[in-house]
Amino acid sequence: MTAPAVRQRPPHRPLEGTAWFAARLSLALHRTRRFTRWWLGLGGTLTVIALLLPVAAGDPEAAARFAREQAVADSVVTAAELQRVRDAQADAESTLVAARRPSGGAAPSRSSHDPRLTTLDASIAMARAARTAPSFLTLSDDPAIRFGPRMRALADSLRSTNDSAEILRLGNTIIAIAEYRRDAIAEQGAENATFTDTDEETDTLAVAVRAAALRDSLARATAAHDAARAAVASIASAADAGRSPVPPLSPGLALLVVLLVGLTLRVGLALSGELREPRLAHALEAERAVGAPALAVVRDALPEGPLRFRPSGVDPFRVLYLGLTATGTRTRALVVTGEDAVIVAAVGARLAIAAGADHRTTLVTELDPEQILLARVFRDHAEPGLTDAMAGAFKWREVARSVGSSDGLSITMVPAGTARDPLDEAQQRAGIEAFQAFREGFEFTILTVALRDLDQARALLPGAPTVLCGTVGVTAVEDFVAAGARVQPAHSLVLWDAPRPTLPSRAELAAYLSKRKGRTPGGSFKAVQEATKKPV
């Protein structure tokens, strides 16, 4: 298989302006994902409950609303009845006035026998002479014509208009109606002139009785309508008194507002923290900050148990391994470093697995006897190790142990070893020479080291390329730039964008090793005795 070409080194130019702010915002959103999930889940549940509770409890204002609707309906019915009685009473009054006219053998004259005709003729003459709105209104208010519904409508229209043309049109209509009414009264007087006084008195008495009854009905209808309106006003006043001055707010809408405010506040706080202390947001920012390509972005956490497996799918560590071995040379040495020693050890172990899966005899070691991180990653003994071999207490083949043979991976680990005092210059030089001779038997050598011990790693592997590790959302941009300046020239970058590896403690590692059957640390019998005498 042809190895992919190595990526071109990106320019050493940090992000600025809009790109920098977009990186901060994307990281703030990324860091609030977990909060967003449980916040929206809790808020959605509470919103559903708030929406269902009123439905289960019923509408508390249903009874008051029903009573008000009934009162309004009663008011409408009484208003219609009142209008009907008023119209009937007005007709009865007009009939009564007509029935009380004087009787005689011949038709009486308009001026001497019927006072209505005299008054009506005078009003018509005045309206024709003045042609003004007050004169027309005076004519419309004449008892002989004012009770008609059409006359009332004309009078109301005349009062509400200021247009002179409209006033003349309405006035002419009123004059025409008045003249028609005058002629009708005159003809009625002529037809009834032959009635006897007894018949006239009888008809007048019946009309007067009916008019009196209608007046009583009008009084009762008015009282009923006033009572219905008072009931509507009383119910409305009681509802207004019981209503809160604060406008009602839907519980679901209130919870939605709380959700949005809480989410905005959380994202705002995260963004504020990012603006104060920028952290690595993505691979492009890391590349621009250091000037080296990011060959691997880790988005999956380490699996539980021993890390002995065959990589499958798109493995970022296999991509990193292929990028490191793209030139095709068989002998390789590599230094993996960074601020977070746990992630550095995890990256070194996964990279060793990727190299072993490519059938490379791989040596992986570390320099930290205090934390023994590489031994905790591989779940194996940490003593004896590199410090013991450097001091001459053990040979290198005695401290080396195979950690991948059970899975068909040719991986050999040299743990950190025992914490010792610093070696003198001669011992240091002899140990480095012995290590150089020992690692010649491997095709790929990986040295994991914290950034503070980078000088010691370069003494062990002079000229070896360096891989710098950083954590998305954790490593500050300023610290990463300083680390990149220290490891220059950096070969490539590894960005960890997954949960931090959880490694067993020394006590948990010792308990695990004590329960493991049929397996002992590799090396000579002396190395086995030394390793099992003091559990890690």
Asked if residue 476 is part of any domain, the answer here is no
Asked if residue 384 is part of any domain, the answer here is yes
- Tens-digit pLDDT profile for residues 202-236: 566 666 767 777 777 888 888 888 888 888 888 77
> Which of 343, 324, 347, 342 lies closest to 334, judged by CA?
324
Residues 6+ apart with CB under 8 A from 76: none
Same-domain pairing of 401 and 372: yes
In the 3-class helix/strand/coil scheme, how is 166-221 assigned residue by residue?
HHHHHHHHHHHHHHHHHHHHHHHHHHHHHCCHHHHHHHHHHHHHHHHHHHHHHHHH
Asked if residue 328 is part of any domain, the answer here is yes
pLDDT confidence tier of residue 497, bands split at 50, 70 and 90:
confident
Give the DSSP H/E element, type plus range, for residue 298.
strand 294-298
What secondary structure does DSSP assign to 61-88, as a single string? THHHHHHHHHHHHHHHHHHHHHHHHHHH
Instruction: Measure the CA–CA gap between 302 and 298, rounded to whole angstroms.
Output: 10
Same-domain pairing of 326 and 258: no
Same-domain pairing of 110 and 254: no
pLDDT at 126: 82
Same-domain pairing of 255 and 174: no
pLDDT at 224: 85
In the 3-class helix/strand/coil scheme, how is 474-512 assigned residue by residue?
CCEHHHHHHHHHHHCCCCEEEEECCCCCCCCCHHHHHHH
Same-domain pairing of 263 and 351: no
Asked if residue 75 is part of any domain, the answer here is yes
Q: Phi-psi region for residue 417, left (φ > 0), alpha (ψ -120 to 50) or beta?
A: left
State the pairing for strand pair 411-414/362-366. Answer: parallel
Same-domain pairing of 78 and 217: yes
pLDDT confidence tier of residue 2, bands split at 50, 70 and 90:
very low
Around Cβ 256, how many Cβ atoms within 10 Å? 15
Q: Please check whether residue 178 is in contact with residue 124, taking contact to mean a CB–CB distance below 8 angstroms.
A: yes
**Domain, as residue range, for 123:** 64-239
pLDDT at 337: 93
Give the DSSP H/E element, type plus range, for residue 267.
helix 251-276
Question: How many structural domains are present in the chain?
Answer: 3
Q: Phi-psi region for residue 206, left (φ > 0), alpha (ψ -120 to 50) or beta?
A: alpha
Instruction: Measure the CA–CA gap between 521 and 531, rounded to whole angstroms.
Output: 8
State the pairing for strand pair 411-414/401-402. Answer: antiparallel
Asked if residue 394 is part of any domain, the answer here is yes
Asked if residue 119 is part of any domain, the answer here is yes
Instruction: Indicate the residue type of 381.
Output: H
Same-domain pairing of 228 and 252: no
* Domain final position from 188, 213, 239: 239
Asked if residue 12 is part of any domain, the answer here is no
Same-domain pairing of 370 and 408: yes
Largest CA distance in the chain: 163
- Tens-digit pLDDT profile for residues 297-338: 988 776 654 445 555 557 888 888 888 887 655 558 899 999
Highest mean pLDDT among 272-286, 304-318, 465-479: 465-479
pLDDT at 242: 64
Instruction: Measure the CA–CA gap between 486 and 464, rounded to whole angstroms.
Output: 15
pLDDT confidence tier of residue 508, bands split at 50, 70 and 90:
confident
Please give the angle made by the CA atoms of 524, 527 and 530, to the nearest 5 degrees.
155
Same-domain pairing of 270 and 347: no
Question: What value does the mean pLDDT take over residues 232-250?
Answer: 70
Same-domain pairing of 324 and 396: yes
Instruction: Measure the CA–CA gap between 410 and 99, rounded to whole angstroms.
Output: 132
The SS3 assignment for 410 reads: coil
What are the tokens at 345?
Answer: 């050890």
* Domain final position from 239, 263, 284: 239
Instruction: Measure the CA–CA gap between 470 and 150, rounded to whole angstroms.
Output: 95
* Domain final position from 187, 222, 239: 239
Spell out a b/e string for 165-187, using b for 16 or more CB atoms within 10 Å of the CB, else e: eebeebbebbbebbeebbeebbe
Q: Does the pLDDT value for residue 504 go beyond 50? A: yes
Burial class of residue 399, CB neighbours in 10 A (0-12, 13-18, 19+): buried
Give the least confident one: 174-178, 292-296, 358-362, 519-523. 519-523
Q: Please check whether residue 446 is in contact with residue 334, taking contact to mean a CB–CB distance below 8 angstroms.
A: yes
Residues 6+ apart with CB under 8 A from 2: none
Same-domain pairing of 323 and 452: yes
Same-domain pairing of 74 and 208: yes
Burial class of residue 417, CB neighbours in 10 A (0-12, 13-18, 19+): buried
Mean model confidence pLDDT for the chain:
77
Asked if residue 447 is part of any domain, the answer here is yes
pLDDT at 14: 72
Give the least confident one: 210-219, 486-495, 508-517. 508-517
CATH of the domain at 402: 3.40.50.300
